[in-house]
Amino acid sequence: TVKRNNQVQFMANPYSVEDSLDWIGRPGEGQQDAYDRQTYLKKKELALDIDRGSLVETVVTRDDDAGTAGQLDGIYAWATGSRLIALTGSPSLTEGLYGDLAQAIAEASGQTADTAFISGNLKRSITNWGTAIRRMAEGQKTYTNSIGEFDGDWGTQRIVWDLHTTAGYLLLCKMSDISIAYGVPVKTVELGKTRDTRQGYVKTEFTLEVKNPNTVGLTTGLV
């Protein structure tokens, strides 16, 4: 068994709240005190940071005393060899190009990808593969079915638009082989008060675990 290491990444979002914010009306506050509200919002921010990091980041190692945390390898970085297709000339995404990547994964791993992560422009390209339909009762208007799953020669993939995907990148993977491994699950740390300000932060320590890198493929350079 060959293992590939990944780096553990530390993430933290600090915040502070003055006492006066408990009685000043602000959107979203009122049902809970201002400190709890900020805790909730910072956890949501941290969740977005985890999503982005596990997708697009590449390993950066730093000394222990660097003052800045290192970075892990996101899922993009696990696509190598025949499973990394770098296109030139900015071609549009076609079923043929999609199938080339799906085939590369199947031939490298003996398994098929089950999920595609794409940016907004590629989501619209895939939708254009759908067949236009007419609604007779609505004045002959034509609609195109949105494609939520693609069933091709190399398995069926769920099509997922993700906020943090890189424009022009098509990622195919098998989700059961990918997981977030937490050293420290998301938690809240309260630092106490300084004068009339209550301070704290939310943090986590995690890395991306990929059980079979051969089930991860990436095509770049699309429009």
Instruction: Tell me which of 63 and 11 has the higher pLDDT.
Output: 11
pLDDT in the model for residue 25? 60
Residue found under tokens 């990091």: 53
Tens-place pLDDT, residues 167-217: 999 999 999 999 999 999 999 999 988 888 999 999 999 999 999 999 999
Strand 115-118 and strand 170-173: the pairing is antiparallel
What's the average model confidence in pLDDT over 15-26? 75
Q: Provide the residue type at 78 as one letter.
A: W
User: Does residue 58 sit in helix, strand or coil?
Assistant: coil
Q: Provide the residue type at 83 as one letter.
A: R
Q: Under the phi-then-psi rule, with left for phi > 0, alpha for psi from -120 to 50, and beta for the rest, what region is 168?
A: left
Dist. CA 197–CA 28, nearest whole Å: 20
- Asked whether the beta carbons of 146 and 160 are under 8 A apart, the reply is no
Mean pLDDT over the full length of the chain: 88
Tens-place pLDDT, residues 56-111: 999 888 777 777 777 999 999 999 999 999 999 999 999 999 999 999 999 999 99
- Asked whether the beta carbons of 173 and 217 are under 8 A apart, the reply is yes
pLDDT in the model for residue 134? 57
Buried b / exposed e over 152-161, threshold 16 CB at 10 Å, is: eebbebebee
Tens-place pLDDT, residues 115-133: 999 999 999 899 888 765 5
User: Model's pTM, two decimal places?
Assistant: 0.84
Among 7-11, 19-23, 29-33, 97-101, top mean pLDDT goes to: 97-101
What's the average model confidence in pLDDT over 157-173? 95
What's the average model confidence in pLDDT over 5-22? 87
Q: Which of 20-24, 27-31, 38-42 has the lowest mean pLDDT?
A: 27-31
Instruction: Tell me which of 2 and 89 has the higher pLDDT.
Output: 89
pLDDT in the model for residue 29? 54
Dist. CA 92–CA 144, nearest whole Å: 19
